[in-house]
Amino acid sequence: MSTITVPNPVPDTNEDCIALHRAFEGAVLWMCNPAERDATILHEALGGLIKDYRALTEVLYLRTSAELLDIRRAYSSSFDRSLEEEIATKIGGSEQKLLLGLLREERIEDDEIDTLEVEADTEDLLSALSNTEEINISVIVRVLTTRSSSHLKDILDRFMKVYGYNFEQILENKTRGAFRVSVTVVMCCAKDSINYYAKTLYESLKGICTDASTLIRIIVTCAETNMKDIKASFSRNYEKQLHDMISSDTMRHFQTFLMLLVGVSHHENILQHLPSLSPC
Average pLDDT over residues 117-144: 89
Q: Kindly report the pTM of this predicted structure.
A: 0.86
- Same domain, yes or no: 41 and 135: no
- Same domain, yes or no: 66 and 192: yes
Decide if 3 is inside a domain: no
Decide if 278 is inside a domain: no
pLDDT in tens, 28-37: 778 889 999 9
- Same domain, yes or no: 247 and 211: yes
pLDDT in tens, 24-81: 576 777 888 999 999 999 999 999 889 999 999 999 999 999 999 999 999 999 999 9
How many domains does the chain divide into?
A: 2
Decide if 280 is inside a domain: no
Q: Which of 138, 154, 186 is the last residue of a domain?
A: 186
Neighbours of 129 (CB within 10 A): 18
- Same domain, yes or no: 39 and 173: no
Check if the beta carbon of residue 46 is closer than 8 Å to that of residue 87. Answer: yes
Decide if 6 is inside a domain: no
Q: Which of 186, 212, 241 is the last residue of a domain?
A: 186
DSSP code of residue 112: -
Average pLDDT over residues 181-205: 95
Tally of helices (H runs) and strands (E runs) in the chain: 15, 0
- Same domain, yes or no: 99 and 212: yes
Q: Which of 186, 217, 240 is the last residue of a domain?
A: 186
Average pLDDT over residues 225-253: 91
Q: Write the DSSP assignment of 139-167 as a string of letters.
A: HHHHHHHHS-HHHHHHHHHHIIIII---H
- Same domain, yes or no: 265 and 194: yes
Decide if 199 is inside a domain: yes
- Same domain, yes or no: 95 and 219: yes
> Does the CA dihedral 244-229-182-40 come out positive or negative?
negative
CATH number at residue 211: 1.10.220.10
- Same domain, yes or no: 248 and 259: yes
Decide if 47 is inside a domain: yes
Q: How would you label 244-274 residue by residue, b for 16+ Cβ within 10 Å and e otherwise? A: ebbeebbbbbbbbbbbbbbebeeeeebeeeb
Cα–Cα distance, 118 to 4 (Å, whole number): 69
* pLDDT band at residue 20 under the 50/70/90 scheme: low
- Same domain, yes or no: 21 and 146: no
Judged against a pLDDT cut of 60, whether residue 254 lies above it is answered with yes
Structural domain that includes position 52: 13-108+187-273
Decide if 24 is inside a domain: yes
pLDDT in tens, 76-114: 999 999 999 999 999 999 999 999 999 998 887 777 888
Judged against a pLDDT cut of 90, whether residue 180 lies above it is answered with yes
- Same domain, yes or no: 96 and 203: yes
Decide if 4 is inside a domain: no
pLDDT of residue 15: 60
pLDDT of residue 208: 78
- Same domain, yes or no: 103 and 191: yes
Considering the chain, what is the average pLDDT of its residues?
85
- Same domain, yes or no: 19 and 98: yes
Average pLDDT over residues 164-189: 89
